[in-house]
Structure 1
Amino acid sequence: MQLVSLKVTNNGKVVRDLAFNQGLNIITNSGTNGNQVGKSSVLRVIKFCLGTSGEGLWKDPDSGTTNETVKKSLTNSEIKFFLTLKKGNTTISIERFLSERNGRIYRLGKINGVSYNSTKKFKGKIAELFNHTAEQPTLSTIFNRFFRLDKSTVNNSYRFNNTYTSNDMYGLIYSYLLGFSGHEFLNKDYDYKIEAKLQEERKRSLLNGQDIIFYYNKLGEIDDRISNLQEKEEDYELKGVHEDVLIKLRNIRKNISNLSTKIANLEVQLNYNQKTIDEYLSKSYEYNKEVITKIYEEASILIPNLERTYEESVNFHNSILNRKVEYVSDRMSSLEKEVEHLKLELNTNLSEEQYIFKSLTSQSNLGSFLLVEKEIQNEKEERGQVSYIINEIKTIEGTLINIDGKRNSNAKILSKHMDNFETKLNSLNDSCKKISLSTFKDFSLFFASNFDEYQKELKFSIVNADKIFGDGSPRAATMCIDMSFAKYAKDNALDLPHFTLQDYLESSDEDKLGSLFMTANSQSIQTVVSILNDKLYELKSYFDEKDTILILSQEDKFFGL
């Protein structure tokens, strides 16, 4: 999918009408001060039209400062955006704008003339346009590979997403980007690993720092004590005590023992759930303005699409954790009700036991006999708790064996798809090598991969990444890889962006950036860049005047405000 045009209207009046080139598209400024004129906003508007919240349009991502004038104009439906894209021979028209009512900002829009007045429905339609149905990676994560608008990650060639993205997730991401035929099975393995991790965490919580042999040893000790107590019990001669009374007493005590064991087991589950809640709560963040710059680079989890401020990312992260806490709390509530019911039943049996006990206290040897029985009951209750832990661990280990079996079967299927994978990776690497070699001259950047059937893992790395150092090279390297993916997607007609958006280019070396500008044009890689005119002046020999599609200034800012 490629960009065709972007139009911005203010109260129906056209204030911007951009037509995109097939290759390089430069957005810059005139005058001595190119800051805060809306260069980056052009890129963020494109991203907004593809489903983001749009808050970065009025909130500076670096300082967190809100431009109230822009926010007011954007959220009162005055300003509307019209993005036109091309997918094969099909034209796609997107209209999007914001409207604030009763203190709440609504994201409204149309796609090909059809209204989608909820964010969920709008994003669902965007996903449909990109034929995105995979649970992982999300479409916003995919966009982050092509849209380099976050300062904290613009220098990361491989790990382009937020810092919480795992190696396993990167395996999924690159598999999807390549159009790997085995992606479905790789996704399955990812789910299996998550399930196994949850089982391991539950196992660790139940063992509580001990090895399983500790509980088997404890069980043996309890059984030994019960055996000795039962021998003592048999030695007592009870005279004058009706057999039916003793049977009744023993039945009541059996009920008491069973109820106590059930309660103890449920309380083990409650304790595990409370530990889970405590773990979730320990992962929540407090918003601290004094350290916002540092923490912002580490902010956001569960969603790949970082929205401009640390506070917003933290709030979303905490809301997800809160929902998890609510879910576990609901489960705890039902368990607590069950415990309460069992305790009422237990108290009834205890009262009956006490009544019978009082009626028999005058009987010969009965007091000592009952004390032994009480000890046996206590030991059996403790045995029930230990047995519960052992049985749960056995169940978990059985589940883990089952998961491992599924992973082994899945890995065999995956291995059959590896020829398809290698073909696709080689195709991507052809672009990576050509673009990076023309940029760095002495070496090229490309992807290496390994599928370990034993470990059931698909791993990636970038060859020669260790040669990327200094202030200017990392930013050029990321742009090389981004452009390579855009070219690969276009050459293979994949349902991905066939363009890339690039911001924060000022740190890049002039010769490398100039080479990338020329590559964008010579290979028709649609590349939209936001760049200060000071930097651009040093690159004037690398591009043509027609490549500049928008020049902004302090007197003529992007939104026309």
Structure 2
Amino acid sequence: MFLDKLEITDKFNNNIRTIKFKKGLNLIIGLSEEQGSTNNIGKTTLLRCIDFCLGGDIKQIYQDKEFKNTNNDIFEFLKNNTPTFKLTIKDSLENPNITYTILRSIYFKKENIKVEDYIFKNNNEIEFEEFKTKLKQIFFNNSSLKPSFRQLIPKFIRKNEEQLLNVLRYLFASTSDSEYEKIHLSLFGFSADTLLDRKSKLEKTLKKTEDELKILKQKFNLQDLKQMLEIVKNNIEKLSKQRDDFEIDSKYQAEEEELKNIQLNLMKIENHITDLNLKISISTKQRDNIENGLFTQDTNTLKLLYEEVKFYTESMHKSFENVVNFHNKMIKHELEYTIKKIDNYNKDLSILEEKRGKYAEKYSNILQKLSKTGSLAEYTKLNQQLEANSEEKGRLEQQIDNIQKTEEYENKLKIIFEKIKAKIDTKMDIINNNITDFNSFFTSYSDLLYGQKFFLSYEDTPTVKKFSIKDMNGNEGHGKKQVIISAFDLAYIDFVNKINKTSPRFSAIDKVEIVDIEKLQQLFNISNNINGQFIIPIIYDKIESIYEDYKANEIIALSQSNKFFNF
């Protein structure tokens, strides 16, 4: 997809700004007037407006990203004019078959900015469930959950520090290797998107399970708990023997027998309670998983499955909506059954806890009675110690059981993870071929622009495929980084053209003025010879000596008297 035109109109549909994009190099020129500054005239604002039209945050237009300072002039402009941003994109600038218009209208609700989204295809409004998911389908012919559209698009609009200092890892520093794997595989033509979705969901479940295990083992590991249990069992054995050997007056034999019976009942009840708590815990997890299986707004995964079945089965008569309804009906039945099961467990638990309370009270009363005899104080103490150790035994057994069951679940997840990873590996041939195609352009451009041959590669780690840019000579400087990023993005446009991949055919990059003028000229020449668009803001003074050669590439000239929003 190519950028065709950006139009900004006020609430009365009066034109505020219209920018027509060109094929090849697109220059956003910043002019200084009588020694005036080129700051705050809106050179980067155009990039932010494009990004906003593609699902970005409206705040980027009026708020500083680093310090969160609000530009009150722009904020008031938005508030007073409630503008509409309209971005037109085409599959070809010369002979377009498809034209999309992405329209985002700003309005205020109290003091908060709100946005309404519309998309038109060849002037006909199209419906969508989720704006960014539809944009991903338009720009990448892909509706998978991961990577998201907003994880992909910053590679094509580089305006923030993360995007300008990193060729591949252009998102927030906290973005995981796992997320980047999906991004890079998707960018370079990985076709089995459902596998990436499954891997993504499994990674979340695995991470949650690992976190649960960390909590369970926070104080003691499994071996610690087993040793502690053996110690408690030995204590119980010794205390039981001492109590059994204790000679008690025959008139207290009945109380002793009753104590033993109560203790046996208490132990049985504790075991039942432990078992019920575990069943409730497992059933609650099942309930949560079932609830997550309901399809409300996000039907992408089921849609993919439906389309696949429909493709292979001509007799597929049910509509997708019927499939969703049937799926949800089955899930709701399962959910109702699970909730009822949890309710029954909780009722049984309440009954057992009530029984335990009565037995414990009775046990305590008998002990209190025996302790008053004086001669039975030692016997009473033994029973109290036995009770405490029995409770500790039950607690340790439950902890051990929880850890073992969680470890067993984790191992099952790891087996599934390895199977998915193996399936991904079987589909890497096309990625390897695509990387080879990409490197033929990237190596050529980097050599031309900087005299070094850079290339894209990846490392196959135990969990992810980690992509990186490499060369033969070590580190790059800041200016060099801008050149390499530009070479990478231009090479990517050539690459997607070669394999005919649905993808943005544009690259917008800020702060290229730090690049030497000779390299800028080479960069401009490459840009004008690709089937794509290279969009850059730059001050006139930087390119004054070569301006006449590229005057035709200017799409807008801004100054203190002609700022982007015309105020």
Where on the TM-score scale, by shorter chain, does this alignment land: which range?
0.7 to 0.9
Partner of 1:8: 8
Deviations 1:187-218 (A, max 9, x none): 54454444333333332322235443222221
Partner of 2:155: 145
Whether 1:106 aligns to 2:114 is yes
Mapping 1:79-478, distance limit 5 Å: 79-87=83-91, 89-112=97-120, 121-130=130-139, 131-240=141-250, 246=256, 248-257=258-267, 347-359=357-369, 367-440=377-450, 442-451=451-460, 455-464=462-471, 467-478=474-485
Mapping 1:10-89, distance limit 5 Å: 10=10, 11-32=12-33, 33-61=37-65, 64-87=68-91, 89=97
Please list every run of 5 or more consecutive structure 1 residues that lacks an aligned counterpart in the other structure: 269-333
Cα distance in 2, alignment partners of residues 501 and 189 from structure 1: 31
Deviations 1:4-61 (A, max 9, x none): 1112223322232222111111111223422111111111111111111221212234
Cα distance in 2, alignment partners of residues 75 and 262 from structure 1: 64
Cα distance in 2, alignment partners of residues 35 and 559 from structure 1: 14
Distance 1:22 1:245, change over 3 A: same
1:247 CA displacement? 5.0
Deviations 1:517-543 (A, max 9, x none): 1111112331111111122325437x5
Alignment match of 2:557 (pick from 531, 540, 551) = 551
Cα distance in 2, alignment partners of residues 53 and 117 from structure 1: 22
Distance 1:204 1:445, change over 3 A: same
Distance 1:116 1:252, change over 3 A: farther
Decide whether the 8 Å contact of 1:136 with 1:187 is kept in 2.
yes
Distance 1:368 1:115, change over 3 A: farther
Distance 1:236 1:152, change over 3 A: same
> What is the aligned residue count?
491
Amino acid in the other structure paired with 1:141: Q
Decide whether the 8 Å contact of 2:144 with 2:193 is kept in 1.
no
Amino acid in the other structure paired with 1:515: Q
Distance 1:80 1:117, change over 3 A: farther
Deviations 1:98-123 (A, max 9, x none): 111211211123211677999x8433
Decide whether the 8 Å contact of 1:157 with 1:481 is kept in 2.
yes
Cα distance in 2, alignment partners of residues 62 and 360 from structure 1: 73
Distance 1:177 1:133, change over 3 A: same
Deviations 1:484-532 (A, max 9, x none): 2233334434333211111122222222222221111112331111111
TM-score under structure 1 normalisation?
A: 0.78
- TM-align CA RMSD: 3.5
Cα distance in 2, alignment partners of residues 62 and 538 from structure 1: 34
1:379 CA displacement? 1.0
Deviations 1:375-410 (A, max 9, x none): 222111111222222222222222232122223322
TM-score under structure 2 normalisation?
A: 0.77
Amino acid in the other structure paired with 1:558: F
Partner of 1:487: 494
Kindly, what percent of the aligned residue pairs are identical? 23
Decide whether the 8 Å contact of 1:44 with 1:56 is kept in 2.
yes
Distance 1:418 1:241, change over 3 A: farther
What SS does the corresponding residue of 1:100 show, helix, strand or coil?
strand
Distance 1:375 1:53, change over 3 A: same
Distance 1:78 1:387, change over 3 A: closer
Partner of 1:316: none
Distance 1:266 1:504, change over 3 A: farther
Cα distance in 2, alignment partners of residues 239 and 182 from structure 1: 80
Partner of 2:320: none
Cα distance in 2, alignment partners of residues 395 and 401 from structure 1: 10
Decide whether the 8 Å contact of 2:27 with 2:553 is kept in 1.
yes
Amino acid in the other structure paired with 2:506: F
Distance 1:153 1:418, change over 3 A: closer
Amino acid in the other structure paired with 1:2: F
Decide whether the 8 Å contact of 1:146 with 1:486 is kept in 2.
no
1:548 CA displacement? 0.4
Distance 1:124 1:419, change over 3 A: closer
Amino acid in the other structure paired with 2:16: V
Partner of 2:307: none
Distance 1:117 1:535, change over 3 A: farther
Please list every run of 5 or more consecutive structure 2 residues that lacks an aligned counterpart in the other structure: 279-342
Decide whether the 8 Å contact of 2:2 with 2:90 is kept in 1.
yes
Cα distance in 2, alignment partners of residues 359 and 443 from structure 1: 92
Worse-matched range after superposition: 473-482 or 13-22? 13-22
Cα distance in 2, alignment partners of residues 240 and 181 from structure 1: 83
Decide whether the 8 Å contact of 2:132 with 2:149 is kept in 1.
no
Partner of 1:508: 515
